[in-house]
Amino acid sequence: MTPRKWDKIATFVLYMISIFIIFVLAFLLLYILISGLPNVSWHFITSKSSSFQAGGGIGVQLFNSVYLLVLAMIISVPLSLGAGIWLSEYAPKNWITSLIRNAIEILSSLPSVVVGLFGFLVFSINMKFGFSILSGALALTVFNLPLLTRKVEDSLQAIHYTQREAGYALGLSRWETVIHVVVPAALPGIITGMILGMGRIFGEAAALIYTAGQSSPSLDFSNWNPLYIASPLNPMRSAETLAVHIWKINSEGIIPDATQVSAASSAVLVLFVLLLNFLARYVGNRLYARLTGVKERN
């Protein structure tokens, strides 16, 4: 065996590995879409789920997922922006800052089920929110905050210091410089990170099982007053999301068409997440081109 021959073999093996990974993704996507999409219909997406019989839909679950996503983002976006700005612009270089950074890193490495249990203990039981959308949104915030903060900090750090100096030279305070100069320049990165975070939240189930609950009360879609008990917008009602629904019908398996329903729900879920991924890319590139006049982002 000459080195030249080994080189050929190794190259071949590496090609095979790469093709294998592409094959795995193709298989996963095709499997989900082929087994799921035939079962997706307008009726399926909009109708109520059934607990025992076949033919239930995912309307309520889909609504819950979106509502939880919106609530969680409303709480976590300002928090992560503030925290990211502090870390990037105000943090002094000392041991306290490095401790804070470590704490955030640890928070991001915690398993989502632990975050869910923490939410169950603190939001559902100690704060008496029960199994509710509010508890779920808070748990999702805890789950999402470290990554968003990191993303904001990285995007701000990528802005050249001359931009900040330009701001100071105009007599702006540091805060004004950050808000009017640095954050707008870092916006493409921040928005991309936010949308990717939305995708993560949308598919998350482990953090929600014991916070937002595993059941949905019957909703009255004609009354949108958030204080009304059966209103879809009531944040204190329990809410099963799409991801939790897939998990639940598979592990309990009471309804006879569990496989079809979960295949179809998976297809909807994956399509939604893919959509968010493409949106993140598109919006990020678009904003970048808009703000800088550069066509291609590297």
Toward another protein, which CB reaches closer, 3 or 293?
3
Quickly count helices (H) and strands (E) in the chain.
11, 0
Alpha carbons 51 and 194: distance in angstroms, whole number: 35
- Closer to another protein by Cβ: residue 77 or 219: 77
- Asked if residues 157 and 180 have their Cβ atoms less than 8 Å apart, the reply is no
| CA quadruple 105, 107, 110, 113: dihedral sign | negative
DSSP state of 180: I
Question: Does 64 participate in binding another protein (rule CB under 8 A)?
Answer: no
For the four alpha carbons of 97, 99, 104 and 108, in that order, the dihedral sign comes to: positive
Q: E strand or H helix at 83, and its extent?
A: helix 59-85
Please identify, using beta-carbon distances, which residue of 81 and 233 lies nearer to another protein.
81
Structure tokens at 204: 């998350």
Closest approach, Cβ 145 to another protein, in A, equals 6
Task: For residue 206, give the 3-state DSSP assignment.
Answer: coil
Nearest CB to another protein, comparing residues 178 and 287:
178
If one asks whether residue 277 binds another protein (CB under 8 A), the answer comes out as yes
The correct pick among 33, 45, 66, 81 for binding another protein (CB under 8 A) is: 81
* Closest C-alpha to 186, from 178, 196, 174, 195: 178
Check binding of 173 to another protein (CB under 8 A): yes
Piece of the chain touching another protein by CB under 8 A; list 39-47, 49-57, 169-177, 215-223:
169-177
Cα–Cα distance, 156 to 123 (Å, whole number):
32
Q: Distance (Å, rounded) from C-alpha 297 to C-alpha 210?
A: 41
Site string for another protein, 209-238 (x = CB under 8 A): xx---x------------------------
The answer to the question of residue 156 lying near another protein (CB under 8 A) is no
The pattern of x and - marking residues 103 through 142 that bind another protein according to CB under 8 A reads xxxxx-xxxxxxx-xx-xxx--x----------------x
**Would you count residue 257 as binding another protein (CB under 8 A)?**
no
- CB nearer to another protein: give 95 or 293: 95
Regarding 10 and contact with another protein (CB under 8 A), the answer is yes
Region from 3-11, 47-55, 184-192, 223-231 binding another protein, contact rule CB under 8 A? 3-11
| Residue from the set 49, 155, 216, 262 that interacts with another protein by CB under 8 A | 262
Cβ proximity to another protein, 236 vs 270, nearer residue:
270
- The set of residues, in sequence order, having a beta carbon less than 8 Å from that of 177 and lying 6+ positions away, is 164, 167, 168
Q: Could you tell me the CA-to-CA distances from 149 to 69, 86, 108, 181, 261 in Å, in that order?
A: 17, 10, 10, 19, 36
- Can residue 49 be called a binding residue for another protein (CB under 8 A)? no
- Least distance between another protein and beta carbon 249 (Å): 10
- Position among 6, 224, 228, 282 found at the interface with another protein (CB under 8 A): 6
